[in-house]
Amino acid sequence: MPDYNFDGKRLKNRSGQKAGEIDRNLVRAWNGAKLGEIEGKNIRDAHGKKVLEFDGKSIKDDTGKKITTIEEIQKIIEGGSGISLVAMWYFFVKK
């Protein structure tokens, strides 16, 4: 059973508590603090530094090294797909 549920906008943990959300292109914590943003195929941290790149299947770090795939992320987070899911995984599961 996945540890998180993502409806395309909000990420909730197994007990139903909101962990974070997507607000247009911004990634926000449960308290509204900006953690990062989605810019095209890149995910940037709160300071604007590129942290991930998503090509539709593979997730690469800022140096271009492959770190995981969308299939692996979907085993941890149920629901959603695409770069929004990758951003939620990076800021709330990986960190």
Asked if residue 2 lies in contact with residue 76, where contact means CB atoms within 8 angstroms, the answer is: yes
Mind listing the pLDDT tens digit for each residue in 1-57?
789 999 999 999 999 999 999 999 999 999 999 999 999 999 999 999 999 999 999
Q: Is the pLDDT of residue 80 over 90?
A: no
- Tokens of residue 14, six digits: 């197994």
- The whole-number pLDDT of residue 1 equals 74
Q: Is the pLDDT of residue 95 over 80?
A: no
Q: Domain containing 74: what range? A: 4-94
Count of domains forming the chain? 1
pTM listed for this prediction = 0.92
DSSP state for residue 65 in the 8-state scheme: -
Length of the chain: 95
Distance, in Å, from the CA atom of 74 to the CA atom of 87, rounded to the nearest integer, reads: 12
Asked if residue 19 lies in contact with residue 92, where contact means CB atoms within 8 angstroms, the answer is: yes
Average pLDDT score over residue span 83-94: 96
